[in-house]
Structures are given as structure tokens and as C-alpha cells.
């Protein structure tokens, strides 16, 4: 069985919500501020600063070409996005 005081508090809370929902907006004192467009990082029109992370997993001399290939790939990738600016290439070895 529900306690009467809890039932009364719940009814009062529902009434407060109804009043908030049904409140009329005074157009004279109303200022509409449109939402800002969220940044879509996959949008080609968005200007972006880009950093690249290249990694070579071993200290083997033959892996040097792996780093160079990664670097070239990402440089070309950024060039194909005219609004992207390559800031830096970070390397790990």
C-alpha cells in the first residue's frame, strides 16, 4: 500500500511538470538562439588541423621503408582533403 504523503508529493510533482509544459511563451520577451552546427570530422568542408602517427614495430633496417611508406601515404591522404592542414608527423620506433 502506498503512503498517502508519498502519493501527495508525487501528485504535486506531476502538477508542477504540467504547469511548466503548458506555460505560454511571451513572444515580446523571447529570443531565439539557433543551435550551432556540430563539427563533423568526416565533412570535407570543415577546416581541420591534422597530425599523423606512424609506427615501426622493430628496429630492423628493412622497416625503414615501412615508415617512409606510411609517411607518404598520409601526406597524400591529407593533400586530397583541401581543407586539412598537416601539422606534424609523429613517429615511434
The 3-state DSSP class for residue 86 equals strand
How confident is the model at residue 1, as a pLDDT? 57
Buried-state track 54-76, b at ≥16 Cβ within 10 A, e below 16: bebeeeeeeeeeebeebeeebee
C-alpha cell at 16: 508542477
The 3-state DSSP class for residue 55 equals strand
Query: Within a domain: residue 24?
Result: no
Query: Within a domain: residue 11?
Result: no
Query: Within a domain: residue 84?
Result: yes
Q: Domain of residue 82: give its range.
A: 48-92
Query: Within a domain: residue 1?
Result: no
**What are the phi and psi torsion angles at 86 (to 5°)?**
-75, 115
In tens digits, the chain (93 residues) has pLDDT values of 568 888 899 999 999 998 888 878 788 888 889 998 887 777 777 788 999 998 887 777 777 678 888 999 999 999 988 888 999 999 875
Query: Within a domain: residue 81?
Result: yes
How many folded domains does the chain comprise?
1
Contact in structure between 20 and 57 (CB atoms under 8 Å): no
**Residues paired with residue 86 on neighbouring β-strands, in sequence order:** 50
Amino acid at each position: 500500500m502506498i503512503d498517502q504523503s508519498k502519493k501527495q508529493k508525487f501528485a504535486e510533482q506531476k502538477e508542477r511538470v504540467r504547469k511548466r509544459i503548458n506555460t505560454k511563451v511571451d513572444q515580446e520577451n523571447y529570443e531565439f538562439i539557433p543551435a550551432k552546427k556540430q563539427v563533423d570530422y568526416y565533412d570535407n568542408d570543415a577546416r581541420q588541423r591534422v597530425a599523423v602517427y606512424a609506427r615501426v614495430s622493430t628496429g630492423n633496417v628493412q622497416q625503414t621503408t615501412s615508415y617512409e611508406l606510411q609517411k607518404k601515404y598520409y601526406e597524400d591522404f591529407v593533400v586530397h582533403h583541401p581543407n586539412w592542414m598537416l601539422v606534424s608527423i609523429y613517429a615511434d620506433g
